[in-house]
Amino acid sequence: MKKNTFALLVISAIVLAGCGNSQFNFPSLSVSDAPNSSVEQSSEEVVTSSKESSEEQPSSEQSSSEQKTSSEQKTSSSEQKTSSSEQKTSSSSSEQKTSSSSSSSSSEKPVVTEDRKISLYAINDFHGQVVETSSESEIGAAKLFSYLKDKNDQGNTLLCNQGDLYQGSLESNYNRGRLLTDVMNYTGFDCMTLGNHEFDWSQSAITANKEVSYSSKDVITHKTPFLAANIYDYDISTHKVGTTQKSSLGQPYTISTLENGLKVGIIGVIGTDQITSISSQFVDDITFVDPIGKVKELSDKLRTEEEVDFVVASIHSGTDTSNSDATINQAPLANVSTVSGKRYCDAVLTAHTHSEDYEEINGVPFIQDGCNGKAIGNLEFTVSPDGTVTYDGHNVYHYNDIKNQTVNSNIKSIIDRYALETDAIGSEKLTSFTGGSWSYTNHVPNILAESLYMEAVNEGYDVQYAMVNKTRATLYTGDITYSGLFNSVPFDNEVMVVECTGSDLINEANYNYVYRGIGDAVDTTKTYKVAVIDYLATHRNKNRYYDYFPSMKLKGTLEKDGESYIYRDILSDYLKTKSSWSNTNYSTNTNNRFNKTLTNAVAL
C-alpha cells in the first residue's frame, strides 16, 4: 500500500508541450502540462491548525492492477489486510485525522503485542542529476528512484527528501523540476522539505510542483507533501516577521501511517541563514524562523495531540550538534521533552552542506548523505509494544551498490518523455576547449565574466567591469555541449548593470570573479558601472539589508529579443563565436583582465 496517497484515480496522461533551442524560454510551469501527472487545486488546501478538515481525504486503498515486480514488493490489494490500522495512509497538518488515527484515548487503539519495524530511506541535494554518470559516481534518477520504489513496496518504509531536489541540470531545469516531481510522486515519497534552491525559479514554481500528483490508469494518485514548517510571512519594508506560516509553499508536518499501524510524524524545516543563499527578489515576502524551536514545538504537538509513535526531523541545513547558537544546534532534538515525556525526535535528517555525516546522540541518529544522487541513507528502527523506539543501525548505499538496479518501467517512461525535448537541446555543440581542465573556480567563471562584459558593451552600456561568482563544475578538453555547460553553470541568473561605489566593488572582487575593462586602480570615492548577476547585486544579509552592493543603483538589465538574457546563455552564445578556446588565456594568475586586486593598476 503506498502512503501519502489520495483517493482520486486520474486516468488521463497529459503530454508535455513546448520545445525550444538552446537559447530558450523555459516552458510555463502551469499545473497541467506534464506527462503522467495530474493536479488538484484548492484556494487554501493547507492551514496550520490540525483541527480543520482538508478538501482531500487520504487513501487507504491500492489498485489491484498495480504490477508487482519482485518478491520484496507488497502483496496485491486482494491479499492486503483491510484493517485501517494496517494500511499506510497520509495526513497533513491541516487534515482531520482519519478514523484509524484520530483516537483520543489509548483504549481505542488496537492492541499491539509484537515489535514493529520502520525502514527509513533518505536523500538530499539531488540537484537535478537525472543522468547516470559513472565517472562521478552519480546513480541517476532512473536507478536511484527505482531502488527506492522497490524498498517502498516492501512496506513499513519511509522515504524522505531533504530538499534541493531540482536545480542543477538541463534535464531538470528545462521543465522547472516537473520531471523529478513526477518521479518522486510515483516512487511514493513521504515528504520533501524545501531547500534554498527550490526558490531559484521563484515561489510560483514551488507551488506549481506542490500541486502535481502522479497518476496513471494503474496507479492511485500520489502527491508528495512539501514541508515548510518555519517559513513565515515577512514585511520587508518594516522588517517584521508575520504570524502566518506560508502554507502555500508547504505544510508544517505530515503524518504517515505504516502498514503495521505505526504513525510517523515528519517535520520539515530549513536553516535560518539560508535566506541569504537565495536571490532576494524571490524571498522578500518570507523569512525562515528558528528551525530548532519549531521542531520542538511541533514534536510536542505530534506526540500529545496526534499521538504519533515516531517523529522525524527533516532539516535542510548541515548537521550541527555543537553550535553555540540555539537556532542551529540540532543536538537538543535528541533530548526528552518535558511536555511529551519522549524524545523530540527519533531521527534527524540533514542536508545542504553536501557531506556524508553520521552521528548518534541519545539513541537518535543524525545523518546527511552527500549530494547529486551519489548516496542513499538508510536507518532501521524497532518499536516495541510499549512504544519504546530502538535504533537498530545505519547503512549508506553508493553507486556501486545500486548500479545494477533494474529500472522501473514507469520511471523510465517518465524520464524518456521529458528527454524527447532536452536531449536535442543538450547535445548541441557550442565549441571546443583546449589546454586541459577548465576549473570551475578559475577558468570557467573568468570567461563567463568576460562574456557578460562584452554583451553589456554590445548593448550600449558604458561598463568598466563585470562580476560573477564561482561556477559548479569543471569542464574538460574537447567538445563543449550545451548540456555540459549547463552542468557547470546551472543557474538562471539575470544580469544587471549597476552603478556602485569603488569600495563596494573592491570588497566584492575579493570574493568573486571580475573582468576588468580598464586597468586603472579603483578609487573608493568614485562610482563605477558593473555588469553583475542579480544574486550578487541584490544580495541581502540575515537581517535583510543589502550588503554586497548597498550603494548600487540599477541602470538596466541585459536582454535578448525583449526578454531577460540569462548569464549561461550569454556565455553559450559567446562560446559559439569561436571554434575553440584555450584555457591559457583565462587564468586569474596569468591574465590581468581577471586580476581581482582592484586597488592596484594593471597593464591590459
Give the mean pLDDT of 184-193.
97
**What number of H helices and E strands is found in the chain?**
12, 29
293 and 409 both lie in a single domain:
yes
CATH number at residue 154: 3.60.21.10
pLDDT score, position 565: 98
Instruction: Tell me the three state secondary structure of residue 325.
Output: coil
DSSP structure string for 48-75: S-TTSPPSSPBP----TT----STTSPP
Q: Flag whether 266 is in a domain.
A: yes
On whether the CB atoms of residues 201 and 164 are closer than 8 A, the answer is no
The residue type found at 71 is S
323 and 412 both lie in a single domain:
yes
Q: Which residue has the higher pLDDT, 207 or 216?
A: 207
Q: Flag whether 74 is in a domain.
A: no
pLDDT of 355 higher than 70: yes
**Domain end (from 365, 398, 419):** 419
348 and 439 both lie in a single domain:
no
pLDDT tier at 489, thresholds 50, 70, 90 = very high
pLDDT of 4 higher than 50: no
Q: Which residue has the higher pLDDT, 186 or 98?
A: 186
pLDDT, tens digit (0-9, with 9 covering 90-100), for 42-62:
333 333 333 332 333 333 333
483 and 415 both lie in a single domain:
no
pLDDT of 105 higher than 60: no
460 and 378 both lie in a single domain:
no
∠ CA 567-438-472, rounded to 5°: 50
Query: Could you list the residue range(s) of the whole structural domain that residue 436 is in?
Result: 427-594
Give the mean pLDDT of 565-576.
98
On whether the CB atoms of residues 233 and 285 are closer than 8 A, the answer is yes
pLDDT score, position 214: 73
Q: Flag whether 105 is in a domain.
A: no
pLDDT tier at 233, thresholds 50, 70, 90 = very high
pLDDT score, position 203: 98
230 and 282 both lie in a single domain:
yes
pLDDT score, position 213: 84
CATH number at residue 531: 3.90.780.10
Entry pTM: 0.83
Q: Are strands 253-257 and 356-361 parallel, antiparallel or unpaired?
A: unpaired
User: How many CB atoms sit inside 10 A of residue 185's CB?
Assistant: 27
**Domain end (from 365, 392, 419):** 419
Q: What percentage of the chain exceeds 70 in pLDDT?
A: 81
pLDDT score, position 293: 98
pLDDT score, position 111: 87
525 and 485 both lie in a single domain:
yes
**Domain end (from 393, 419, 445):** 419
pLDDT score, position 356: 97
pLDDT, tens digit (0-9, with 9 covering 90-100), for 272-323:
999 999 999 999 999 999 999 999 999 999 999 999 999 999 999 999 999 9
pLDDT score, position 57: 33
453 and 405 both lie in a single domain:
no
The residue type found at 12 is S
Q: Flag whether 158 is in a domain.
A: yes
Give the mean pLDDT of 427-442.
97
pLDDT of 33 higher than 80: no
Q: Flag whether 562 is in a domain.
A: yes
Q: Flag whether 46 is in a domain.
A: no
Q: Flag whether 153 is in a domain.
A: yes
Mean pLDDT of the chain: 86
Give the mean pLDDT of 117-127.
98
Q: Cell digits for 541?
A: 544579509
pLDDT score, position 483: 96
pLDDT of 10 higher than 80: no
The number of domains in the chain is 2
185 and 263 both lie in a single domain:
yes
Q: What percentage of the chain exceeds 90 in pLDDT?
A: 80
pLDDT score, position 574: 98
pLDDT score, position 65: 38
409 and 457 both lie in a single domain:
no
Give the mean pLDDT of 202-224.
84
Q: Flag whether 243 is in a domain.
A: yes
Q: Cell digits for 535?
A: 544574486
Instruction: Tell me the three state secondary structure of residue 229.
Output: coil
pLDDT of 13 higher than 50: no
Instruction: Tell me the three state secondary structure of residue 357.
Output: strand
Give residues with Cβ within 8 angstroms of 107, minimum separation 6. Answer: none
User: How far, in Å, CA of 6 to CA of 526, rounded?
Assistant: 61
299 and 344 both lie in a single domain:
yes
277 and 190 both lie in a single domain:
yes
pLDDT score, position 560: 97
pLDDT of 139 higher than 60: yes
User: How far, in Å, CA of 589 to CA of 455, rounded?
Assistant: 24
pLDDT score, position 217: 57
